[in-house]
Structure 1
Amino acid sequence: MIRSLLIRGMIAGLVAGVLGFGFAKLVGEPFVAQAIAFEGEHAHGHDHHEATTHSHDHEGGDGDEELVSRDTQAGVGLFTGVAVFGTALGGIFSLVFALAYGRLGALRARGTSALLAMFGFLSVAVVPFLKYPPNPPSVGNAATIGPRTALFFGMLAISIAAAVIAVALQRRLRVRRGEWNATMIAGAFYIASMLLVQFALPRIEEVPAGFSASLLWNFRVAAIGVQVIIWTTLGLVFGALAARELERPALRKVATV
C-alpha cells in the first residue's frame, strides 16, 4: 500500500507543480521582470561613470554573458524547478498521510489529505514566510545569501518540529481533556513556540533604497499564491487518488454482500 500511495502522491505533486508553474508564470513572472529592470537601471546609474571611463577597454568585446538566458529561466527552468519540487513534496506528503491515516478521528482519505495539506501549508509555507519572506531579484546582498538560507531552513525545521510535537501533544491530552480542549492546548503550544522563535531569530532587512514597495508586496503575494495553489491541489488530488486506493475495496465488498 505504501508504494501505491507514494506513486499517487508523486502524481498529485506533479499536477500541483504544473498548476503552480502556471500561476507563477502568469502572475509572478511580470513582477520578477520588473525587479530585474529595476536592478539594471540601478546598476546602470551607479556604474555609469566607470562604464564610460573604461568603455575603450571593452570595445569590440562580448561583455558579460548570461550562463542561462532569461527566457530559459522563466520557462523551462521555472517549470523544471516547480515540477520537481511538487513531485518530491507529493512523495513526502504521501508518506506522512500513510502514518496519519486512521489516526485522526473519523476522517477518511479525502478529509485526512485535506487536513494534512492545511497543516503543511501553515507550517511549511506560511510560518517561515512570515519571518523570512522571499525577495525578488535585486533585493538582497549576495554576501549574505548563506546566512539567509541557513536562517530560512532553520525556521522551516523548527516549524515542522513544533507542528509534530503539537500533534503528539493533542493525541496525548485528548483522552483526559477531550478533543476540543486538547486541540486548543496543542494549537496554543504551536503558536507560542513560533512567536518565541520569530522574536529570537534575527531579522533580515536588505531592501535597497528606492525599491518599489508595491512591487515587493505583489511579488511576495504571488510567491505565497504559488504555495496556496500547490498545497490546495496536492490535498485535493491526492485525497481523491488515495480514496480510490483505500476505500474502493470496501465499497466492492459491501456491493457483493
Structure 2
Amino acid sequence: MVRTLVVRGLLLGLLAGLIAGGFAFAVGEPQVDAAIALEEAAAPAPAAADGHGHSHGAEAEVGRPVQKAGLFLATGLYGLAVGGVFALVFAGLRGRVEPRSDGCLALAAAGTAFVAVILVPFLKYPANPPAVGDPATINSRTALYVVMVLVGLAAVAIAVATARHVHAGAWPRWVAVAAAFLVPVVAAWLLLPTVDEVPDGFPATLLWEFRLASLGTQFVFWTVFGALFGWACDRAARSAAAPMSAAAPS
C-alpha cells in the first residue's frame, strides 16, 4: 500500500509541478524579465574587449530561453520530490488523524503543508526578483528562511497534538488549536531579524507582483496536487470496495 501511495504521489506531484510551472511561466516570468531589465540598466558597462575580440570581466550566462525551459524542469522535479515525501507522510497519518476520508485527508494535509512550509515563511521572508537582495547575505537569508519553515512545521505539530488532547467542546478546541499554532509563529516573526534589501527606486508594483506570482505558483501546485491525490485515493478506495460489495451475499 505504501509503495502504491508513493508511486501515486510521484506521478501526481510531477503533473502538479508542470501545471504550476505553466502558471509561473504565464504569470511570473514577465516580472522576472522586467526585473532583469532593471538590473541590466543599472549595471556598469561591460569591460572593453581586448585586441583579440575577447571581453574581460563578463562571464557567460544562461540565456533567458534556456532559463524559461528550465522552469518546467525545476517545477517538475520539485513536484516529484514533494509528491514522494507527501505520500509517505500521508501513509503515516492515514487512519490516525481526522478526517478519515482519504480525499478529505489529502486536501487537509496539502492545505496544512502549504500554510506551514510556504505561507508562514513567505509572510516573514517573501521571495524577491532579480536585482533585489545582496549576494553576500544569501547564506544568512537562506538559513533564516529554513528556520521559518521549521517553525511552521513545529507549529503544525503542536496544533495537531493540541487538537488530540483538548476535549472541551468544538469552539474551545479550535481556539486552543489556533493559539497553539499562532504562538510559535508570531514569536518567530517578532524575534527573527527582518531582511529588507530592496534597493532604492525599485518599483513597488513590480516587487509585489513578483511576490504574489511566486506565492500563487505554490498555491496552484498544492491545490492541484491535493485535489488530484485525494481524488486518486478516493477512486482507489471505491475500486477496492466494489468487488467486496459484489461478493457479499444478498
Shorter chain as normaliser: what TM range?
A: over 0.9
- 8 Å CA contact 1:117–1:231 kept in 2: the answer is yes
Structure 2 CA distance, aligned partners of 1:86 and 1:234? Answer: 9
Structure 2 CA distance, aligned partners of 1:65 and 1:255? Answer: 68
TM-score by structure 2 length? 0.93
Corresponding residue of 2:134 = 141
- String of CA shifts for 1:67-100, please: whole Å, max 9, x gaps: 422211111x211111111111111111111122
Is residue 232 from structure 1 mapped to residue 223 from structure 2 by the alignment? yes
Is residue 161 from structure 1 mapped to residue 150 from structure 2 by the alignment? no
Q: Which amino acid aligns with 2:16?
A: A
- 8 Å CA contact 2:27–2:213 kept in 1: the answer is yes
Pairing 1:115-134 to 2, within 5 Å after superposition: 115-134=108-127
Pairing 1:30-49 to 2, within 5 Å after superposition: 30-43=30-43, 47-48=44-45
- 8 Å CA contact 2:17–2:77 kept in 1: the answer is yes
Is residue 150 from structure 1 mapped to residue 136 from structure 2 by the alignment? no
Structure 1 CA distance, aligned partners of 2:14 and 2:53? Answer: 46
Offset, 1:215: 0.2
Is residue 200 from structure 1 mapped to residue 199 from structure 2 by the alignment? no
Structure 1 CA distance, aligned partners of 2:159 and 2:60? Answer: 47
Structure 1 CA distance, aligned partners of 2:243 and 2:170? Answer: 33
- String of CA shifts for 1:85-123, please: whole Å, max 9, x gaps: 111111111111112222333531111111111111111
Structure 2 CA distance, aligned partners of 1:66 and 1:187? Answer: 50
Offset, 1:164: 1.2
TM-score by structure 1 length? 0.90
Structure 2 CA distance, aligned partners of 1:246 and 1:179? Answer: 29
Pairing 1:78-93 to 2, within 5 Å after superposition: 78-93=71-86
Q: Which amino acid aligns with 1:19?
A: I
Offset, 1:160: 0.6
Q: Which amino acid aligns with 1:100?
A: L
Corresponding residue of 1:21 = 21
- String of CA shifts for 1:186-235, please: whole Å, max 9, x gaps: 22111121011001000001001111100001000100010111000110
Q: 1:181 to 1:82 in 2, by over 3 A?
A: same
Structure 2 CA distance, aligned partners of 1:122 and 1:151? Answer: 17
Q: 1:56 to 1:97 in 2, by over 3 A?
A: closer
- 8 Å CA contact 2:107–2:227 kept in 1: the answer is yes
Structure 1 CA distance, aligned partners of 2:51 and 2:127? Answer: 36
Structure 2 CA distance, aligned partners of 1:153 and 1:3? Answer: 29
Considering only aligned residues, what root-mean-square deviation do their CA atoms show, in Å?
A: 1.7
- Which ranges of structure 2 fall in alignment gaps of 5 or more residues? none
Q: Bigger CA drift: 236-245 or 58-67?
A: 58-67
Corresponding residue of 1:69 = 63
Q: Which amino acid aligns with 2:188?
A: V
- 8 Å CA contact 2:48–2:55 kept in 1: the answer is no
- Which ranges of structure 1 fall in alignment gaps of 5 or more residues? none
Structure 2 CA distance, aligned partners of 1:178 and 1:165? Answer: 19
Q: Which amino acid aligns with 2:62?
A: V
Q: Which amino acid aligns with 1:81?
A: A
- 8 Å CA contact 1:38–1:138 kept in 2: the answer is yes
Structure 2 CA distance, aligned partners of 1:194 and 1:157? Answer: 10
Q: Greater relative contact order: 1 or 2 (C-alpha under 8 angstroms, separation 6 or more)?
A: 1
Greater per-residue helix proportion: 1
Structure 2 CA distance, aligned partners of 1:56 and 1:13? Answer: 47
Is residue 223 from structure 1 mapped to residue 217 from structure 2 by the alignment? no
- String of CA shifts for 1:16-46, please: whole Å, max 9, x gaps: 1000110011110010000000000011xxx
Q: Which amino acid aligns with 1:210?
A: G
